[in-house]
Amino acid sequence: MTDTYTEVDPTETVGYLTPRQYDRLERAIGTSRWLVPWLYAAGHIATEQAGRSSRAEAPLPIPATWVAAHTIDDLLNRLQPWDDLRDAAADLQGQWLCRCLWQEVESAARNWPTEEKPHQVVYVRCRQCGRLALEWQPPAFAGDDIRVVCTMCGHLETPEMVAWDARLVIDEHTAHAVA
The domain spans of the chain are 19-111, 119-178
Q: For residue 71, is pLDDT > 60?
A: yes
H/E element holding 102? helix 92-111
User: Residue 30: its pLDDT value, please?
Assistant: 95
User: CA neighbours within 13 Å on the CB side: how many for 70?
Assistant: 7
- Evaluate if pTM is beyond 0.75: no
Please write the tens of the pLDDT for every residue from 13-67.
889 999 999 999 999 999 999 999 999 888 765 554 444 444 555 665 788 899 9
